Amino acid sequence: MLLTCENCETIFRIESAQLKTPGQQVRCSVCKHVWAPEVINEDPVEPQLIRESISVLRFPILICVAITLLLTLIGFNRGTITSYVPITINAFDMAGLTIRPDLTKLEVRNLKANYAGDTLRVSGNLANKSSLRVHAAPLQLTISDSDEVVLHTQRILPADLFIDSGDVTDFFIQIDIEKTNQAEVSVTPLAIRIDPTLSGSQ
C-alpha cells in the first residue's frame, strides 16, 4: 500500500501487513514526523478486482436484457411491424411467430344483404379502429333462418391485405341461395392470416 507523510507529503510504499494495528505509529524517514496513519485492513487490490469483474459482467447482462426486451416487443407487435413491412412476414413465420389479425382492432361496418331473385348480395366494410396499420382478416359469412338454423356459411376475403389506421377495406360476395324471409346474415372477422396469393390486391 502507499502511505503519504502528513507533514512533508512524501509517498512511501509499505507492506500492508506492517500496518495492521489501529493507532500504530510510523515515522517519516525524510522529515522524521511521527503520526498514526489510518489502518486499512483490506488489500487495496481486492476491491478493484471486484469492481472490474462486476463491470465486465454487467455489460453482457444488460445486452441480454435489452435483446430479450426487444424480442418480446417485436413478438407482441409483430402484427403491426409486418403490416408496415410485409417482407418481414416470412421471417416471423420461420421463427414460429405466426401473424394473425388482431380482432380487437377490426370491426365490420355497413353490412348490407339484398336479394336479387335467388341471388343474395352481401357487402360491407372491414374497419381498422386502431391508431396503427393492421392486417385485414378473412370474414366468416353465416346465413341462418329465424330459428337460428345455419343455412349457409362461406369465407369472404376483403379487398386489401392491410388497412391503414381509421381506414376501411371493402368486401362483397354474391351467393345463389333460395330466398328465405327473415334470414339472418352475419359477417365476423376470423383470426386467420389472409393468404396473399388468394387476395385480389397487393
Query: Which one, 8 or 65, has the nearer CB to Zn ion?
Result: 8
| Minimum distance of Zn ion from residue 19's CB (angstroms) | 16
Cell 371493402 belongs to 170
3-state secondary structure 116-143: ECCEEEEEEEEEECCCCCEECCCEEEEE
User: Does residue 34 touch Zn ion according to CB under 5 A?
Assistant: no
User: Does residue 3 touch Zn ion according to CB under 5 A?
Assistant: no
**Contact assessment for residue 173 and residue 141, using Cβ atoms and an 8 Å cutoff:** yes
User: Does residue 28 touch Zn ion according to CB under 5 A?
Assistant: yes
Query: Which one, 4 or 201, has the nearer CB to Zn ion?
Result: 4
User: Does residue 4 touch Zn ion according to CB under 5 A?
Assistant: no
Cell of 90: 416470412
Residue type, 28: C
Residue number of the CB closest to Zn ion reads: 28
Cell of 180: 328465405
| Minimum distance of Zn ion from residue 30's CB (angstroms) | 5
Among 7, 53, 72, 110, binds Zn ion (CB under 5 A): 7
Where does this chain touch Zn ion (CB under 5 A) — which range of 4-12, 121-129, 146-154, 161-169?
Answer: 4-12
What does the alpha-carbon distance between residue 27 and residue 3 come to, in Å, rounded to a whole number? 11
Largest CA distance in the chain: 120
Query: Which one, 33 or 152, has the nearer CB to Zn ion?
Result: 33
DSSP summary character for residue 38: P
Report the interface residues with Zn ion, using CB under 5 A: 5, 7-8, 28, 30-31, 33
